[in-house]
Chain A
Amino acid sequence: MTVKYTEDHEWVSVEGDTAIVGITSYAAEQLGDVVFVELPEEGRNSNKGDELAVVESVKAASDVYAPVSGIVKEANSELEGAPETVNQDPEGKGWFVKMLITDPTQLDAMMDADAYKAFCADL
């Protein structure tokens, strides 16, 4: 299992042809208290960079972009009743969607954990 990061503060955990996508701890902290996550329906076909989800705090709404192209297999329905999970465990139980990835080479250009850490330190 490899975990990769984007400059838009999404993380992607890949196992086989399945990717789990969420937002990073850094992003969750910046947003403040998450109050709602709008998730895509199963089967939606997203290209890399498409709007995949929306994450809302009280005074802000941020689009979450598909870090890789693929088809949505599952959305994290737990977030519907408990959006605070995104704050409590952003890179674990607070995942957003599972996707069937169509182009694994897209992962190559993304940051690993160390590179992302350095990236955030510069912000």
Chain B
Amino acid sequence: MRYLPLTQEDRADMLSVIGANSVDDFYTDVPESARLPGTVPGLPDHQGELAVERYLTKLANKNVTASESAFFVGCGAYKHHVPASVDMVIQRSEFLTTYTPYQPEIAQGTLQTLFEFQTQVAEITAMDVANASMYDGATSCAEAAVMACRATRRKKVVLSGGLHPHYAASTKLLCEAQGIEVVQLPAAIDGELELAGAVDDATACVIGQSPNVFGTITDMTPVADAAHEKKALFVSVFTEAVSLGLVKPPGEMGADIAVGEGQSIGNSLNFGGPYVGLFAATQKLVRQMPGRLCGETTDAEGKRGFVLTLSTREQHIRRDKATSNICTNSGLCALAFTAHMTLLGGKGLRDLAVLNHEAACDLADALEAVDGVEIITPRFFNEFAFRVPMNAADALQGLLDRDVVGGVRASRLYPHEDELSNVIVCAATECTTPEDIAAYASALKEILS
């Protein structure tokens, strides 16, 4: 076995040092009926690199990749270009094969990058503080809801009709397990502001999203004001981090907590994971936050360094009273995020956002020109919804047959909303070419005629 350095001689020597006859001696505590006589039945034996590589490559080749097609799928994950140096950074052994930085004297590399990550996330969301990452956007949203309940000592949260249904489901699940009431407003293309009317004296927080799952962008300041009037918190969600370069960020709308998906910056699509949840809040709420926090300090000689801090919030110290059960977060994906962000800078993020927006505008123009297409997202960044005069699933299949991966049918996210059955949500990014857009428009024209 290429991964196991011990030789048979080593094993024999070691057993004699230990004073054991065979490794079986170590397993005598296992109930006899549960000791397997040989290997686990039903599984093949070991294979060489070449055989494994061949097999997995064959599986990989059965999939249609985003790069080899005209690709317009969004709804919570986005096809962006990742600079080559980002992947090189995350493949550095010292980042890839290290642990959570529990021993700060020999983990300053990870810790400094986390500190930089937190600063970048706080800046782009326009919030006071950010943590060192969560699993993904949906779990961040769920944690924000229970955090708001803790901070306000209330037990009710209200979700907008434009919150990504996966985020809504994850939030509902965690809240209900803790006896928190969840009010879900009906699905709405442009309904984030309705949260303002849904907040009452029992509400811990209202959760709105911009750009929302249909791509609609909204200045949710009135929602924040209404929440604060009732001493409730406003949680602002995003699924497309690149939008923060151009669209009004959570902090400019009065958000108390900002959560979202960071995949768009530095991370590949990966069929849904691993991604990186972003979590930011106002200074006032910092001790209620879940997850790791990295802070600045000095060493015994007065040199600046970084450590994990405010750990008493966390499970390894507070146990059943912890703010969350999260332990492992998304360190390497956060590193990819921060490395890409370091290349972009504030200027690059804005330039990238503008390109995304223009690509989406071009796409909207091209699709609008197709007879029967009606764009129903009133204001958008790089993603919007449109109606077709036929079932959206059939339209998407027709597009796929013409090598266009045209987006997500709204009915996949809302199986019970009949009036969304002919709605497609599509996204364009800097990777979208004029040829892709032309291919989309002409394929759609063919299908609809």
Q: Do chains A and B touch in the complex (CB under 8 A)?
A: yes
Note all chain A residues with C-beta closer than 8 A to B311. 58-59
Q: How far in angstroms is the closest Cβ of chain A from B242? A: 37
Query: Which of under 10, 10 to 19, 20 to 34, or 35 or more describes the interface residues of A?
Result: under 10
Note all chain B residues with C-beta closer than 8 A to A38. 287
Task: Give 1 or 0 for each of A21-51: 1 = CB within 8 Å of chain B CB.
Answer: 0000000000000011010000000000000
Question: For the complex, is A60 an interface residue (Cβ under 8 Å from B)?
Answer: yes
Known: A36-B312, A56-B312. A61 touches B287 (CB 8 A): no
Note all chain A residues with C-beta closer than 8 A to B321. 61
Chain B residues touching A, majority SS? helix
Question: For the complex, is B412 an interface residue (Cβ under 8 Å from A)?
Answer: no
B273-319 residues with Cβ-Cβ distance < 8 A to A are 287, 311-312, 317-318
Q: Are A36 and B287 in contact (CB under 8 A)?
A: yes
Please give me the residue from chain B that is nearest to A58 by CB atom: B311
Number of A-B contacts (CB under 8 A): 17
Count, chain B residues at interface, CB 8 A: 6
Note all chain B residues with C-beta closer than 8 A to A56. 312
Please give me the residue from chain B that is nearest to A60 by CB atom: B317
Chain A residues touching B, majority SS? strand
A102 to B287, CA, bound (A): 32
Please give me the residue from chain B that is nearest to A55 by CB atom: B312
A60 to B313, CA, bound (A): 10
A61 to B317, CA, bound (A): 7
Q: How far in angstroms is the closest Cβ of chain B from A47? A: 17
Q: Are A59 and B287 in contact (CB under 8 A)?
A: no
A44 to B317, CA, bound (A): 27
Q: How far in angstroms is the closest Cβ of chain A from B297? A: 11
Note all chain B residues with C-beta closer than 8 A to A61. 312, 317-318, 321
Note all chain B residues with C-beta closer than 8 A to A57. 312
**Smallest CB-CB A-B distances: 7 pairs:** A61-B312, A56-B312, A61-B318, A61-B317, A59-B317, A60-B317, A59-B311
Q: Which B residues are closer than 8 A to A by beta carbons?
A: 287, 311-312, 317-318, 321
A-B contact pairs, 14 of them (CB 8 A): A35-B312, A36-B287, A36-B312, A38-B287, A58-B311, A58-B312, A59-B311, A59-B312, A59-B317, A60-B312, A60-B317, A61-B312, A61-B317, A61-B321
Q: With contacts A36-B287, A38-B287, A61-B317 known, what are 14 further pairs, Cβ within 8 A? A: A35-B312, A36-B312, A56-B312, A57-B312, A58-B311, A58-B312, A59-B311, A59-B312, A59-B317, A60-B312, A60-B317, A61-B312, A61-B318, A61-B321
